[in-house]
Structure 1
Amino acid sequence: MHNQQLLSQYVAALESSALCARLDAHGRVVFISESLQKQLHTDAAVIGTRFTQFIEPSNRDQLTDRINYAIEFKQSWNGIVRLVSATTTDKDSGAWFKCLTIPLFENEQLSEIVLLLQDISREVYLDELLNETRFDAVTGLATRVDLLNDLKKARAQCLAILDIRKFRSFVDFYGLEFGDQLLRAFSNWSAQYLSESRLNIYRLYGDKFAIAADFRMIPNLFEVHLQQYYDALAKAQFTVDGGDVEIDIALGMGVGRKKLIQLAESALAKAKKVFSGYQIECVKERDFSHSHQINWMPKIQAALDNDNFVNYYQPIKSSNGQHVDYYEALVRLRDGKNDLPPGLFLDKAKTTRYYSQITRSVVQQAMVQSERHQVAISVNVSIEDILNPQTVEFILTTLDQHPAAQLIFEITETESTEDFSAVEEFAQQVRQRGAKIAIDDFGVGYSNFSRLIQLHPDYLKIDGSIIKNILEDKSNASILNGMISICRELNIPMVAEFVENEAINGYLTQQQIEYLQGYYIGRPAPHISQWLN
């Protein structure tokens, strides 16, 4: 009798504090705890009704079958269930529970079913958030979250990062939905192709993706698989919005035990600078560490103090003539016997006061050479230069001091949109002093044609990514044709960069592109006199 009283108190305590319910053998509610009533927004009036009314409708039959199967074999059922209020029509209402279903038998007959529940709605919500960060909404690929985990799990020693060349141009001309469709088509094809080599592809952001093996693959084998993928992609076509699209990628591979993403990013940056066919750029940890041991700031400061920033000049030729029409000034850092390209130091200088001094050095040298040889020379100016009052004042003063100089200021098109009023004012001021304006890298980024019309540059330089494989890529040709139509309408001469061979030169000449620049026309050289002679 004493044990029976204790047992009754235990049961009462459990029922009052826990999320629980008791059902009869037919699944009707004989007891429901007050805490569970609150969760389900119901009351004791549900006594005698079937508990299945609270199970989320889309899973009701499936869960009922599982529970009945367990009871038939006199077993408990432990699982996850979503319960909703029987009176609501809101599909998003309800909560998730761990549910322990315990059948009670008397004389081998089912007497009652006890349900013990634990609210896990917050855990489910956090899992959903985690899944949203783990998987990309557009492509369905795993994201950087899984990439980091998989690299650690596999103890990876190699990683590739790629992006789609001129992807922004696709979006500019065809729209965001077209871009999303292209990303999905590319992702599906890549995931299927790479899986055969046990490689996984991840979307990092935008048009940037990562490729990693699902085991500790040796670098040589990894590079072989990447090259096969690269070659296959060059022959692939993707059907997007009813049309066939060919794409090209820049691909970089990092090899090392640490900082794999940084190594692969560095390799990708190299691949994007120079198109060298379907070749994979590779950066190894030991090489990366050595190159980054250089402290560039003392080198830059010393070069400024000793006038060791020198201009190289690359010729730009009219397509309907044999003579050079003007030259582009390209900065180099003279380090002993080596003249280092700007890719090594210019980005590092941009965050310091030295950057404006480098710009002034380039402009000063270009003006002197232009005046001395009576030739036109173009120099690159960034939005940082245009927004720097001291740099602008230096340019204007130097133009006044060299009235015979023929300067062309090239403004990067993607940068010029950041503060167009400052760009417009700068253009007006230098034009008053006889200089001209060119828009550089046109066709990449978010081209703003209304601003282009408003600025009306004297030259428009086509982005090199469009020209590099113009003969193999029909979409590049379509983009170029659209740009030609716009420039013809606005009466703006075009300059094509990256003219690397006779075939590209012939094609662009046939298209009547006014000016050509590239290694086929002439490589940069430190003295203009080399070209004049």
Structure 2
Amino acid sequence: MNITSKKRNFIYLIVFLVAAFIVYVYMYTLIPVLEEEVERKIISISTTNTIEAINHTIQKNMPERDFVVTVLYNPDYRKKLKDQLSVFLTDRLQFIFLIFKDETGRYRYLLDTTAEEDVRNLLFIPLKEERDILERVYSQKIPYFMIHREIDTLGITYYVPVIQNDSVKAVLIADFSFSALKEIKSIMSTIQNAILFSIGVIIAILAVAVYYFFKNVILRQRAYIDSLTGVYNRNYLEDIRDVLDLNRYVALMLDIDYFKQINDTYGHQVGDEILKGVAKLLKKNLRDEDIIIRYGGEEFLILLKKGRDEKDNRWSLQVAQKLLNKIREFRHKDISITASIGINLDTHKARGLLDAIKKADITLYRAKRAGRNRIEIYEETDEKKGDITLAEVKEVIEKQQVVCFYQPVVDLETGSVLYFESLARIEHEGHYLPPGAFLDIIKGTFLYFKFTKLVIEYNLKQLAENPQLMISMNLSPSDFVNETILDILLSQKEETIKRIKLEVLETEDVHNYTVLKKNIERLTSAGYEIVLDDFGAGYVDFYYLTEINAKYIKIDGSVIKSIPFNQQYYKLTKHLVNFCKDINKIPIAEFVEDKKILDTLRQLKIPYGQGYYFSKPKPIEEIKKEFFL
């Protein structure tokens, strides 16, 4: 057989295999579609009559007065309707309830057939896809349904308008749940297996032909390459950790400064473009033998290969400085960035690659604490300082090892407690670390948002369990412009909001004063009281005073603790107290550490204070024993 014939036969074989594969794919994908259609029709038939009967029951018992008002305020009618609707509950129909839209556009429970307690007027928070369906039900006055498919069950949720006088008064929601229809699955599975067996032999030939190429090239590349930046990912690190010669590499950790603020301000798409741009910059300015790994969200690990004659690490430091300068020059749509770098020049002394990386990581966050936009070099004394690394903070936050201690704010005349300030702590190596030990290294990262969310959730839990508790929570300006945080706060009940004060931490990183002011106004309108924290020690004091509707002003502890001994601070505090009276704010003194400070504060007629003289920050159990029992 000549070469032309071989080529022709090979082409025929490929065409035949591709055609067989197409037929197989078509038949194989057709079966699930048919299965789903059959299941859909059976479910529809078995549920439609029930839904019509439920709706008929409601219409048959429709009151002459407004339906919502009657259900809410007529207990006899509500009980009768609940009893009649409960008749329809079965193993398949497990939930029937009614909701309505209040005058603010929020959805609330009207009646729940399965709830033992009274759920009237409780807030109903629909999922995103549910909200769209509910809006269509209200506007179009027609029912909708949504099918949920899980491994062993099929579910269908009906949304049926309750119409009175040609107006949608409420929405009936009914949840059906079906065990997977085994008979259908058995039939379809038999057909599927027959097709699979008959065509599978042919497909196997093609599969064997491409298997090794796909396994050895494409899959390996996909497993090791970060899909966004095109550099290596953590999988590659795991693969080389035990084989990399640490004598030949220097470990360098690079983190983009304030990357979370870039994401929050310009959006995740811009953030992704910046990550891709930085990765491209690194690849351009490093050699092929250097290893670049995307270690975290905005963090890159670089393993610089040493030169044969490099003994003093001068070249490695020059590379690090070059990278830092190139990043300073980097621009994306007029957005400039900086980076912090931690470098471990003594990787050969490490117990392994991960230990070498940990030391570079510790040094990186020393650079961030020192002000960012710089290079720090690892020293053996670093680990003795007890620094916590970003990786360790991340592990703590992921495990939700976040708690709050509470310190009372006290009436300086009567000694009664106005409220307790919530002070966050994380558990690390058997100790509780205050924010000063870890907050700086997570600012500007996604961990900061997760941490804030955990703190809020912890405090809400304590408020629910301790009705006597009145608290304040510390939030930074970035928290006030975060819509997710705002939604959590605004979704709370009025009685909960009245027990919470929000302390605005005074920091420099305020990028959008307009949004900050607007969101704080939304919170005060909802009932939250605002406290300006650390007044007298910051950069934007007078903006906060003039623009933020705060009820309380906390005078910074660095001022308070000096007033018994320093006349300048005493006079400053006296003027601040008079100024607070003029602008109708209530001053609170921080750092009340001894009786001498307390007496001076009373002389200055400052009404409230907090500090170690009254109580150290304590866990909630100790607070309960000391103040509530």
TM-score between the two structures when normalised by the length of structure 2: 0.38
The answer to which structure, 1 or 2, has the higher relative contact order (CA under 8 A, 6+ apart) is 1
Larger Rg: 1
Give the structure with the larger helix fraction.
Answer: 2
TM-score between the two structures when normalised by the length of structure 1: 0.44
